Amino acid sequence: MTDLTAALAEVDRCFPDSLARVTELLRFPSIGTDPAHHGDCRKAALWLAGSLSQMGLKAGLRETSGQPLVVGRYRPPGRTRCPHVLFYGHYDVQPADPLDLWTSAPFAPQIRKGKSGRQSIFARGASDDKGQLMTFLEASRCWLKLHGSLPFQLTVMIEGDEEGDATHLDRFLKRHAREFAADVAFICDTGMWNRTTPAINTRLRGCIGEEVTVRGPRIDLHSGYFGGPAQNPIKVLSRILAAIHDGRGRITIPGFYEGVRPIPPAVRRAWRGLAFPEKAFLAEVGLSVPAGEKGYSVLEQIWARPTAEVNGIFGGYRGPGSKTVLPSEATAKLTFRLVEGQDPKKIRRAFRNFVRARLPVDCTARFTDAGGDSAGFVVAEDTPWVRAASRALEDEFGRAPVLAGAGYSIPVVESFKTHLGIDSLLVGFAQPDDAEHSPNEKYDLESLRRGTRAWTRIIAELS
C-alpha cells in the first residue's frame, strides 16, 4: 500500500471523529464583530490551539488589536530542506440574524438532509469557514498519525476578524513579517466550480465599504407645512445614488476605472468555454435577466469588473402606520468591489467628492469608513503550487479543476503578498447552495470528506 493510499484510507476510517471535531468547533458562537461574543471568540481560539497541540504542533494564541490569532508551528524532524507552507483560516463567523429563519439553532449543529437530498451539517460557520479550514487540519492530522511527519514545514494561522475588520491581521503581519516567512500560503475559504468539478481561485476582487449620511433641515419637518420648499434628504440621497450608474451600468464616478485592465481575449475565450449557466444562476435567486455593465458576461462582471452597490438605505419614519414628516437626514451603506489595478483609497476619495459635488444648498454630507480597503488580486496560474493542486484535485474528483475567479474578497491574500512576499493557493469545497452569510448555512458531509481527501492528495504531491 502506497503512502497516499494508506493516508486516504485513514481519512475515510477517521471521518466520524473528524466530523465530531467539526461539530464541536461549530458550537462556539464566535461572532467576531459583536462585543457580546468576544469571549466566545477566545474560547474558539483556545479550542483550536488545543486541537493543533494534540496533532503535534507547537500552538498557542497571539494577541492582535482585534480577536486573538491562533498560531501553530510544525517542523519535520530530520529534514533541513523542505517547503514551508503557511495555512490560513478564520474561526469568526457572520451574525446569525434573522434567527426566525433558521430551521435549527445556528450554534447547535444538526446533521440532516438539505433541499438537495444530501446529508449536510447545518450551523453558522459550517461552510464559512470552520468546516473548510478543518478539511486541511484533518488531512494533516491523518497524515501525521499514519506517517509520523509531514513532508513540509507548516505554520497554521487562524484569525478571528475576517468577517469584520481585516486591518487587525494586516497590522499584525506588518509588525511580525519575519516570524512568518514561508514559501506559499494555502487558503481553504472558496468553493467548487459546480457540484462535481473542483476549482482553484486565481482572481479575487477587493472591497471597500462606505456609509454616507445626507443632512438637510435641523429637525424632522411636518410635510404639510414644509413639503415643497424644504429639502428632503431622502430625495437628495436617492438622486445621488441613482447618478452613480449610467444607462449601460457603467459607473460614472470620475477616475473610477483608473488602472482597470481589459480582459485579455484569450481569457475571455477560456471563460466562454466554461459554458456558465447564466439563466440558472439567476433563477436560483428568483431573477431572470442579467443586469450590470453592458458588454460583459455574468462571469466577466463577477470576476473581472468592478462594481458599486447600495447595501442599505434608510431615513425618516420606519414605524407602523404613517407619519407625515420630511426627515432631517438619510443614510446609505455602499460597497465597492474592486479589481486588480484600482487603488481603494483613491476610490473612496472619488466617491466622497462625487457626493459632495451633487449636494444642493442647505444639505451636507457625513461619511463613515465602513471597512475594507482591500485591493483586487490576480494570482499566477503557472506556479508549482497550482500545478500540484491541479493534479491532486483531478485525481480526487476525476475532473480537472477550473482556474476560476471570485467576486468576493479575501483581504489576507493581499496582506500575504505585501508583507510576506508569497502567493496564495486558494482551494475550497463550498457548494453554491451552502447559504454562507444566510440563515440555514450548511456544509455537505461529502464536501468535508472529499475536501479532506483532496488536501491529503496535495500533501502527497508535496512529498
Whether the Cβ atoms of residue 328 and residue 236 lie closer than 8 Å to each other: no
Alpha helix (H) ranges present in 253-411?
265-272, 278-283, 298-304, 344-357, 384-397
CA distances, 172 to each of 45, 64, 177, 423 (Å): 17, 6, 8, 18
- Least Cα distance to 34 among 160, 166, 210 occurs for 160
0.85 surpassed by pTM:
yes
Secondary structure of residue 187 in the 3-state scheme: strand
> Pairing relation of β-strands 184-187 and 424-427?
parallel
**CATH 3.40.630.10 given to domain 3-204+376-462:** yes
- Least Cα distance to 44 among 33, 28, 55 occurs for 28
Task: Tell me what pLDDT residue 379 has.
Answer: 85
Whether the Cβ atoms of residue 69 and residue 62 lie closer than 8 Å to each other: yes
Cell 449543529 -> residue: 109
Q: Is the dihedral of CA 32, 37, 43, 44 positive or negative?
A: negative
Each residue's pLDDT tens digit, 179-220: 999 999 999 999 999 999 999 999 999 999 999 999 999 999
Q: Residue 4: CB partners within 8 Å, gap ≥ 6?
A: 456, 457, 460
Q: Which helix (H) or strand (E) holds 225?
A: helix 223-226
Task: Tell me what pLDDT residue 15 has.
Answer: 98
Q: What are the structural domain ranges in the chain?
A: 3-204+376-462, 206-260+306-369
Angle at 420 between CA 417 and CA 426, to 5 degrees: 50
Report the alpha-carbon distance of residue 399 to residue 392 in Å, rounded.
Answer: 10
CA dihedral 143, 53, 72, 190 (to 10 degrees): 60
Task: Tell me what pLDDT residue 429 has.
Answer: 98
Q: Is the dihedral of CA 420, 426, 430, 433 positive or negative?
A: positive
What does the DSSP 8-state code read for residue 419?
A: I
Cell 486541511 -> residue: 136
User: Grid coordinates standing for 292?
Assistant: 450590470
The backbone region for 95, taken as left when phi is positive above 0, alpha when psi lies in -120 to 50, beta otherwise, is: beta
Report the alpha-carbon distance of residue 265 to residue 193 in Å, rounded.
Answer: 22
Report the alpha-carbon distance of residue 397 to residue 402 in Å, rounded.
Answer: 12
Report the alpha-carbon distance of residue 46 to residue 70 in Å, rounded.
Answer: 8
Give the length of the chain.
463
User: Grid coordinates standing for 69?
Assistant: 490569532
Whether the Cβ atoms of residue 304 and residue 327 lie closer than 8 Å to each other: no
pLDDT tens across the length of the chain (463 residues): 478 999 999 999 999 999 999 999 999 999 999 999 999 999 999 999 999 999 999 999 999 999 999 999 999 998 778 999 999 999 999 999 999 999 999 999 999 998 889 999 999 999 999 999 999 999 999 999 999 999 999 999 999 999 988 889 999 999 999 999 999 999 999 999 999 999 999 999 999 999 999 999 999 999 999 999 999 999 999 999 999 999 999 999 999 999 999 999 999 999 999 999 999 999 988 999 999 999 999 999 999 999 999 999 999 999 999 999 999 999 999 999 999 999 999 999 999 999 999 999 999 999 999 877 888 988 888 899 999 999 999 999 999 999 999 998 888 999 999 999 999 999 999 998 999 999 999 999 999 999 999 999 999 999 8
Task: Tell me what pLDDT residue 409 has.
Answer: 85
Task: Tell me what pLDDT residue 284 has.
Answer: 84
Report the alpha-carbon distance of residue 454 to residue 135 in Å, rounded.
Answer: 9
Each residue's pLDDT tens digit, 210-257: 999 999 999 999 999 999 999 999 999 999 999 999 999 999 999 999
Backbone angles phi, psi at 269, to 5 degrees: -65, -40
Whether the Cβ atoms of residue 336 and residue 207 lie closer than 8 Å to each other: yes
Report the alpha-carbon distance of residue 64 to residue 48 in Å, rounded.
Answer: 17
What's the distance, CA 174 to chain centroid?
21
CB atoms within 10 A of CB 14: 17
Q: Which CATH number fits domain 206-260+306-369: 3.40.50.1260, 3.40.50.11930, 3.40.50.2300, 3.30.70.360?
A: 3.30.70.360
